[in-house]
Structure 1
Amino acid sequence: MDGSGEREQVDGACVTVHRVEFSIEWPPWTVAAYLIPGDEPILVDAGVPGETGEAELVDGLADHGYAPDDLAHLLLTHPHSDHLGQVPALREAGVTVYAARQTLDRLRRDEAALETGVRETARAVGLDEDTAEAQVDRALDSLRRNRRLLPPDEVDIGFAFGESVDVGSRSVTPLHTPGHQADHAAFALTLGDERVLFSGDVLVEPFRSAALNVGLDRGADDAVREYYRAYDALDGRPFDRVYPGHGPVFDTFDEVLDASRERLDEMVADVFEAVPENEAASAVAVTEARGKRLDPPAALLDTIGALGYLATSGRIVVDVTDGVRRYRRSGRD
């Protein structure tokens, strides 16, 4: 299902939620934005940066009879570059930009504090000095890039989680759904007689996005616990249709939520199995024992988050020596 035929009935008029796809260089190879037509058209997310992304935005909108300056509002799920990429072009076109207040605060982060946090965490998880410095550079580059794409002091409306916000004539409720990203928002609203969710990367079929959360910063070991928090925030909500940032549109909200939680459970179990029984191992060593690559760091961040979750539940024990956290099983299954 590509989203091109999702229809809303309003006073007898038929409105279509359009999907605009952008190319990315990693599986699943595309990222989606969504256009909600109306008197004040809304775009959810903004695709990838650069000239190719701008061309895909223009062409994707044109496929449905729109141009960037026809749009009135832009809702952003989270500050990753494949969802922020065309914010500058849309701001230039006069679109009103909405982002979470917590996202804006994070974008104002002091670079020296970020550098210290990443260097400290990199050491704690067992990365060597050269790799740690590369991760510091990666984090700083990411912060600077995201600030260029989404200057926090130039965002029109910073919304609070859980409080409805009027976006033109529509009432939208941003739900705090962390784990993949610490300030991730999923947008709940009613279109016609359907209760819909624009889920960004928190709920995708047929896979689970990595528990990146804060990246390799202080608090990296909270990522999996935060992901479970996101699933709990969604649980029991009656959505008829979900528009994700990747993968197909789906109308099986409960089934996909259950499957996503199971995938997270399976990853946590995999990490537990990789923790030694009689000796302690760093997060890097546990990631390698899982047969995962350290770069890109998605699998390492999953591992760090799972270890934090397992330690909180008492299933593993943490020993700290010379600033390095090492993990061993506690004897509790």
Structure 2
Amino acid sequence: MDDPTQRESSDVSRLDFDIEWPPKHAAAYLIETPAPILIDAGDPQDRAEATIRDGLATKGYEPGDVEAVVVTHPHSDHIGQVPFLREAGATVYAPRPVLEQLERDPADLAEGVREIGRSAGYRGEAIDREVERARSSLERNRRLLAPEAAVPFEFGEPFAVADREFDPIHTPGHQIHHASLATDLNGERTLFSGDALIEPFRPGAIHVGIDYGAYDAVEAFHRSLDRFDGRPIDRVFPGHGPVFTNYEEAIETTRSALETLTGETLEAVTAIGPATPMELTRHRAGEVRYPAQLLDTLGALGTLEDRERVEYECRDGVRYYAFRKASP
């Protein structure tokens, strides 16, 4: 007898892209209909365009056959080939707040990066590098996902693409304006979860990057998991990792992983505090090779502060966190 946990929906094909940072791959999904729809669009490298061309050809399509691209969130490994597909004739859909975010004044972004970067323990040239990284990312994403050339959709309001209805769920934490997309396929309630829900690992709490709101990342992720709770989802197509059917288990695993992160961060504060977020990250995770490691710490510290487990003293803009003793 056919095992439904091993059977992938015949109406969806997965396109896998090689990327340079963990988890070293990203996925987009082709909904195979007379008017094909792509969910996300790979990374910006030339090889990604070849991946899309080859994946479409395998199913008998050409790039010009793609009716629409629906974007879950504006990270480069998910919007990289939007210009190629748009030029081929596809209509691009994205959350309205994402398109508004892409119009942000670079000077305001720089101010946010400097303030939050300094609070985390960056100094001097390191802050300048983060500002330049953030500006470059904004310029790149604005070029890839041109806001004036996209159709906006609203969170919580179903919208139709090529006669298919999607229910967009606001799921921040990994990215502040992230959309997870629920729809019906082959009698199943299906979720295209982007990077908000992945199995078997936890997505990074990147949220806004090093910017205003970075300390809210873990709480935002918990709100996303609350929004996932209770939905009758049969199958999940994530932006990384395998397609899975254990939806409720993945929610609880992610929630548990966030609590583990928060607990490890509290242990670091207890062990070496008062300490900066950067020092706490090194204690918790070792060498800081990726910004996501620090961003996890910032989000966890925000949650611990909300729970009144830690407090910080600010010296010249730098936060020094310590365990919060109970009031007498």
Q: Give TM-score, length-normalised by structure 2.
A: 0.95
Structural mapping, 1:157-168, within 5 Å: 157-168=151-162
The 1:68–1:47 alpha-carbon spacing in structure 2 relative to 1, beyond 3 Å, is same
Give the distance between the partners of 2:55 and 2:7, measured in 1 at CA.
15
What is the deviation of 1:27? Answer: 2.9
The 1:83–1:94 alpha-carbon spacing in structure 2 relative to 1, beyond 3 Å, is same
- Partner amino acid, structure 1, of 2:165: S
Q: Give TM-score, length-normalised by structure 1.
A: 0.94
The answer to whether the 8 A contact 1:100-1:183 is kept is: yes
Q: Which residue of 1 aligns with 2:291?
A: 297
**RMSD of the alignment, in Å?**
1.7
- SS across alignment from 2:167: strand
The 1:102–1:51 alpha-carbon spacing in structure 2 relative to 1, beyond 3 Å, is same
The answer to whether the 8 A contact 2:112-2:212 is kept is: yes
Q: Which residue of 1 aligns with 2:306?
A: 312
What is the deviation of 1:188? Answer: 0.5
Give the distance between the partners of 2:294 and 2:158, measured in 1 at CA.
36
Correspondence for 1:269 among 236, 239, 263:
263
Are 2:236 and 1:234 aligned?
no
What is the deviation of 1:60? Answer: 1.4
Give the distance between the partners of 1:50 and 1:259, measured in 2 at CA.
32
What is the deviation of 1:4? Answer: 11
Give the distance between the partners of 1:171 and 1:61, measured in 2 at CA.
22
- Partner amino acid, structure 2, of 1:6: E
Are 2:252 and 1:250 aligned?
no
The answer to whether the 8 A contact 2:272-2:280 is kept is: no
- SS across alignment from 2:267: helix
The answer to whether the 8 A contact 1:188-1:196 is kept is: yes
Give the distance between the partners of 2:110 and 2:286, measured in 1 at CA.
25
The answer to whether the 8 A contact 1:19-1:35 is kept is: yes
Gaps of at least 5 residues in structure 1 are 8-14
Structural mapping, 1:1-333, within 5 Å: 6-7=8-9, 15-155=10-150, 157-276=151-270, 279-331=273-325
The answer to whether the 8 A contact 1:292-1:299 is kept is: no
What is the deviation of 1:278? Answer: 8.2
Give the distance between the partners of 1:26 and 1:278, measured in 2 at CA.
29
- Partner amino acid, structure 2, of 1:198: F
What is the deviation of 1:317? Answer: 1.1
What is the deviation of 1:319? Answer: 1.4
1:299-321 CA distance string (max 9 Å, x none):
10000110011001101112112
Q: Which residue of 2 aligns with 1:11?
A: none
Give the distance between the partners of 1:283 and 1:134, measured in 2 at CA.
18
